Amino acid sequence: MAGDLAPAALVTGGASGIGLAIVERLVADGFAVVATDVAAEIGSRAAARAGARFVPADLTEPGACERVVQEAVAGGRLDALVCCAGYQHIDALPDFPADRWRHMLELMLTAPFLLTKHAWPHLTASDRGRIVHVGSAHSLTASPFKAAYVSAKHGLVGLARTTALEGGRHGVTCNVVAPAYTRTPLVSAQVADQARTRGISEAEVEEQVFLSGVAIKRMLEPADVAGLVSYLVSREAWGVTGTVHSIDLGWTAR
Q: Kindly list the catalytic residues.
A: 149
User: What Cα–Cα distance (Å) separates residue 156 from each residue in 108, 131, 169?
Assistant: 8, 12, 21
User: What Cα–Cα distance (Å) separates residue 76 from each residue in 2, 24, 207, 230?
Assistant: 8, 21, 47, 21
Burial 146-169 (b: 16+ CB within 10 A, else e): bbbbbbbbbbbbebbbebbeebee
Helical H runs in the chain?
17-28, 40-50, 64-72, 98-105, 111-125, 147-167, 185-198, 202-205, 222-232
93 vs 95: CA distance, rounded Å: 5
Let me know if 96 is exposed, middle or buried by CB neighbors in 10 A (0-12, 13-18, 19+). Answer: middle
Contact status, residue 19 vs residue 35, Cβ threshold 8 Å = yes
Q: DSSP letter string over 108-157?
A: IIIHHHHHHHHHHHHHHHSSS-EEEEE--GGGTS--TTBHHHHHHHHHHH
